[in-house]
Amino acid sequence: MTRQLINTGIIPNDGQGDSLRTAGGKMNNNFEELYTALGNGTTLTVVNNNLITATGANKITFLYNTLAELPDAGTYHGMFAHVHGENASYYAHAGAWVKLADANKSIGMFSDVDLTATPTNGQALIYDSGAQTWKPGDVQAGGGGGGGSGVTNFLGLTDTPASYSGLAGGFLQVNGTSDGLEIVAAFSIDKLSDVDTTTSAPSSGQVLKWNGTKWVPGDDSTAGGGAADAGTLDGLDSTYFLNYNNLNNKPTIPAAFTDLSDTPSTLTGVGGRFVKVNAGGTALEFVVDAGGGASALNDLSDVTVSSPAQGDVLYYDGSGWVKQNGPTMRWSISSNGSSDYTFSGPGFPTTTNDPVLYLMRGHTYVFVNNTGASHPFEIRVSNGGSAYTSGVSGSKNGTQLFTVPMDAPSTLYYQCTIHSGMGNTINIVS
C-alpha cells in the first residue's frame, strides 16, 4: 500500500482538509501496514529489546552500489553493509570499513598474500620477510606431519659429507668454498688463521718464522746455538759481537740536555732561566722564576697580552685573560621559547625579557648567546632590516662583541634572524 497522507488544507479551518474520521482512517491504515510488515498485524515481532529480528518473509537490506556510497564508518561503528559493485561485504570498525573474507574468493584476496607467480602443484605459501607477504614456493623435504620423506640423519643434509668412512676422530669444518661442511681427518696447524704451510710445504728440520703476515716454514739458522751465523750471542764469546761500534741499527745516545725528546731544543736566548714541567704535564720548559712566579703579566699561564696600549683592560674570554681596548660589558642571553630573548648580567637585577638596551659610544659589549643556532642574535639597522656590522665581531650563535663606533646611529635594533618577535630597540648614547 502507498503511504496515505492526511490533507490538512491550506489555511486553518478552510474546510478543504480531511475530516477527522478520514484522517484517522489513513493513520490506522499506515500503522496497520507497519505492524503487518514488522509483526503479526497486532504486535511488533521484528523489533525486540532494541534489536531487529526479521522472520518469515520480512527482510532488512544493507545494499549499497559502490564503496563511495557507504556512510561514515566512525559514525556507524559496528554497521554491516553489502557493496554490490565490489561483490563483497564490509563492517565498520575503528573508523574504517573492513572487508569480510568470502569463502568463494581466492586466497589472493588477502593483502599479505601475493599470487603474482601462479602456484604449481605441490607448492606451499612461504613467507617473504622482505616483502612481508606470503608467496607460492617449493617446500623442502622435512619430516613434518608424520608421513613425509624428510631427512633423518646428518649425512642426509644437502651441505654435509656423504659418509663417515675413514674419518674416525675427524673434525667438522666449513669447506674452502664456503658452501658446505666437510670432515678433516686430523687438525693441522695450517688450519690456524695466521699459519701458512700450504704455499711452501715444510721440510725436515725447519721451523715456523714470521714473515710479517703469517707464520711460514723456514730454516733454523741457530744450528743448535753453535753456528757462526747464530741469531743470538748466547754461547758466543767473540769480542767482535761485544764491540758497540760493530753493531748495526745501534741507537743514538743523547749527549746534551737539548738532545732529549721532552726538553727544549735550544738554549739560545734563555740565559738565567729555570726548568719546570709544562702545563700539559708532557715535557720540560724554561721559565723565568724558579719559584713559579712571573716577572711580567704576560708570563702568567692564563694571560695573553702583547704590546698593550694606554687604556687597555683585561677581559676574560671564557678560557683566559686577553687584552681589550676600553671598558667592556658582558651579558648572558637565553630565550623564553620563541617569543623573547632573556638577558642577565650587569644592570639586570633579574632575568629580563627583550629589554631596551642603552649602549655607550666607544664601549665594548659582549653578547653571549646561549641559545646557539636556535635563535641567532643579530644587531640590525632597523626592526626587520639589514645587519649592522660596524664594530661587530664574533658569532651570532655564540659570543658576539660590539664595540660601539663614535659615529653609530642613535637607534639600532637587536633581533633573532629566525623569529622576528624576539628583540627590541638599542639606544646609542654618548
Q: Within this chain, do residues 418 and 399 fall inside the same structural domain, yes or no?
A: yes
Give the pLDDT of residue 225: 42
Q: Of 64-78, 177-191, 257-271, 405-419, which gets the smallest average pLDDT? A: 177-191
The three three-digit cell numbers of residue 233, written as one number:
750471542
- The predicted-structure confidence for 320-334, as pLDDT tens digits, reads as follows 888 777 678 899 999
Answer yes or no: is 206 within a domain.
Answer: no
Four-CA torsion 385, 387, 390, 395, nearest 10 degrees? 150
| Phi, then psi, of 349 in degrees rounded to 5 | -60, -35
Q: Give the total number of structural domains in the chain.
A: 4
Q: Residues near 17 by Cβ (< 8 Å), separated by ≥ 6?
A: 6, 7, 8, 9, 23
| Phi, then psi, of 184 in degrees rounded to 5 | -100, 140
Answer yes or no: is 420 within a domain.
Answer: yes
- The predicted-structure confidence for 40-78, as pLDDT tens digits, reads as follows 777 766 666 556 665 555 566 788 999 999 999 999 898
Asked if residue 409 lies in contact with residue 428, where contact means CB atoms within 8 angstroms, the answer is yes
Give the pLDDT of residue 384: 95
Q: Of 41-45, 167-171, 251-255, 409-413, which gets the smallest average pLDDT? A: 41-45
Which of 89, 124, 142 represents a domain boundary (last residue)? 142
Q: Within this chain, do residues 267 and 354 fall inside the same structural domain, yes or no?
A: no
Position 28 confidence tier, pLDDT thresholds 50, 70, 90: confident
Q: Within this chain, do residues 100 and 117 fall inside the same structural domain, yes or no?
A: no
Q: 189 versus 236: which is more confidently predicted? A: 189
Q: Within this chain, do residues 352 and 411 fall inside the same structural domain, yes or no?
A: yes
Answer yes or no: is 226 within a domain.
Answer: no
Q: Within this chain, do residues 127 and 77 fall inside the same structural domain, yes or no?
A: no
Position 223 confidence tier, pLDDT thresholds 50, 70, 90: very low
Position 401 confidence tier, pLDDT thresholds 50, 70, 90: very high
Q: Within this chain, do residues 117 and 97 fall inside the same structural domain, yes or no?
A: no
Judging by DSSP bridges, how do beta strands 124-128 and 133-137 pair with one another? antiparallel
CB pairs under 8 A, 24+ apart, for 176-180? Answer: none
Position 247 confidence tier, pLDDT thresholds 50, 70, 90: confident
Please give the average per-residue pLDDT across 371-395, as a whole number.
Answer: 96
Answer yes or no: is 159 within a domain.
Answer: no
Q: Within this chain, do residues 274 and 354 fall inside the same structural domain, yes or no?
A: no
| Phi, then psi, of 351 in degrees rounded to 5 | -60, 130
Which of 142, 167, 196 represents a domain boundary (last residue)? 142
Q: 17 versus 407: which is more confidently predicted? A: 407
Q: Within this chain, do residues 115 and 88 fall inside the same structural domain, yes or no?
A: no
Is the confidence at residue 429, as pLDDT, over 50? yes
Q: Within this chain, do residues 258 and 331 fall inside the same structural domain, yes or no?
A: no
Answer yes or no: is 187 within a domain.
Answer: no
Answer yes or no: is 205 within a domain.
Answer: no
| Beta-ladder partners of 98 | 91
| Average pLDDT over all residues of the chain | 83
Q: Within this chain, do residues 82 and 116 fall inside the same structural domain, yes or no?
A: no
Give the pLDDT of residue 353: 96
Which of 105, 123, 156 represents a domain boundary (last residue)? 105
Give the pLDDT of residue 228: 46
Asked if residue 391 lies in contact with residue 408, where contact means CB atoms within 8 angstroms, the answer is yes
Answer yes or no: is 92 within a domain.
Answer: yes
Considering 45-59, 120-134, 210-224, the range whose residues carry the highest mean pLDDT is 120-134
Give the pLDDT of residue 309: 66
Cα–Cα distance for residue pair 353/423, rounded to 1 Å: 9
**Parent domain of 100:** 63-105
Q: Residues near 173 by Cβ (< 8 Å), separated by ≥ 6?
A: 181, 182, 183, 184, 191
DSSP 28: H
Is the confidence at residue 29, as pLDDT, over 80? yes
Answer yes or no: is 289 within a domain.
Answer: yes
What residue type is assigned to position 16 of the chain?
A: Q
CATH number of the domain to which 386 belongs: 2.60.40.420
Q: Within this chain, do residues 348 and 270 fall inside the same structural domain, yes or no?
A: no
Cα–Cα distance for residue pair 305/318, rounded to 1 Å: 15
Q: Within this chain, do residues 267 and 356 fall inside the same structural domain, yes or no?
A: no
Closest CA to 359 of 318, 319, 317, 331: 331
Q: Residues near 209 by Cβ (< 8 Å), separated by ≥ 6?
A: 215, 216, 217, 218
- The predicted-structure confidence for 84-99, as pLDDT tens digits, reads as follows 998 889 899 999 999 8
Burial class (CB in 10 A: 0-12, 13-18, 19+), 91: middle
| Phi, then psi, of 244 in degrees rounded to 5 | -60, -35
